[in-house]
Amino acid sequence: AVINPRQALKQTLSLVKDIVSLELTHRFLEPPSIKKLRRNIAQLKPLTSEPAQRLLNILNFEYQAIEEAAKNHPATQALSFATKRLEPPAIIILVSQLNHDTEALLVVSEKLSRRGFTTLPLEVARQRRNQ
């Protein structure tokens, strides 16, 4: 069933307000950029030098590890389940601290974008600190 966008936003914001934020992990590195990673891989593929091929192997390994971890992540599975019932264009609000699930959400967001969905990350931890 389709609901009024304004009502959906109100409902989402009321749910986010009630989320209790816990400091479980700290992220010290920037999350990977899947687009940059793929672009770097594409740029390195035609090169034949040994250093370029070693770097290509490392980047391929990183990309495959991110994809594999994202495939089995609960957030990916939940979003896949939810979007089976939605038709694009639809806006999906991602409520997360973006710590332990960052890579999975980046991967699934990109895939949803290719299908015509718009994802809006709403970082719970930052929202709490700003209030």
| ∠ CA 117-122-126, rounded to 5° | 160
Q: What is the total count of domains within the chain?
A: 1
Whether 93 is in a domain gets the answer: yes
Whether 25 is in a domain gets the answer: no
Whether 55 is in a domain gets the answer: yes
pTM for the full predicted model: 0.63
Q: Please measure the distance between the N-terminal and C-terminal CA atoms of the chain and give it in whole angstroms.
A: 33
Half-sphere exposure for 65 (CA within 13 Å, toward CB): 8
DSSP conformational letter for 98 = S
Whether 117 is in a domain gets the answer: yes
Whether 27 is in a domain gets the answer: no
Amino acid at 113: S
Residue 74, domain extent = 5-19+32-130
Per-residue confidence in pLDDT tens, the chain, 131 aa: 677 888 888 887 787 777 766 565 555 667 788 889 999 999 999 999 999 999 999 999 999 999 998 998 998 998 989 898 888 888 888 888 777 788 888 899 889 999 999 988 876 545 445 55
Whether 24 is in a domain gets the answer: no
Whether 26 is in a domain gets the answer: no
